[in-house]
Amino acid sequence: MENQWETFLDLQNGNEFQKLNHTLIFCSPNKKSLSKIKKLLFEKDGGVNDDFELITFFNVSLKSIMSNKSGSLDVYMLYTPTDLETIDLMNTFTKGICSTSRKLIHWIFVLDWEVPNQKSWLRYLINSFTTLQKLETEHSKTDRAVWCINSEFIRTLFRSTTLWHSHHVDFIQQTLRSFCIRKHSSLAYIDNNSKKFSIKAILKDILQDDDISPVEMVDQTNILIPFGADSDSLIKTLDDAFDPTSILESEFISNFETTIPAYPRSRLQDNSQDANNDESSFYSIDLQERLSKIYQAYKT
Q: Is the pLDDT of residue 246 over 90?
A: yes
Q: Is the pLDDT of residue 286 over 50?
A: no
Distance, CA of 82 to CA of 125 (rounded, Å): 9
Q: Is the pLDDT of residue 275 over 80?
A: no
Q: Is the pLDDT of residue 205 over 80?
A: no
Distance, CA of 149 to CA of 201 (rounded, Å): 13
Once rounded to an integer, what is the mean pLDDT over residues 44-51? Answer: 51
What is the percentage of the chain residues whose pLDDT exceeds 90? Answer: 34
Task: Identify the three-state secondary structure at position 219.
Answer: strand
Q: What integer best gives the mean pLDDT of the chain?
A: 75
pLDDT top residue among 300 and 243 = 243
Once rounded to an integer, what is the mean pLDDT over residues 241-266? Answer: 91
Q: Is the pLDDT of residue 47 over 50?
A: no
CATH topology of domain 2-263: Rossmann fold (3.40.50)
The string of pLDDT tens digits covering residues 165-202 is: 999 999 999 999 999 999 999 999 998 888 777 777 78
* φ and ψ of 169, to 5 deg: -65, -40
Q: Is the pLDDT of residue 122 over 90?
A: yes
CB atoms within 10 A of CB 46: 9
Q: Is the pLDDT of residue 89 over 90?
A: no
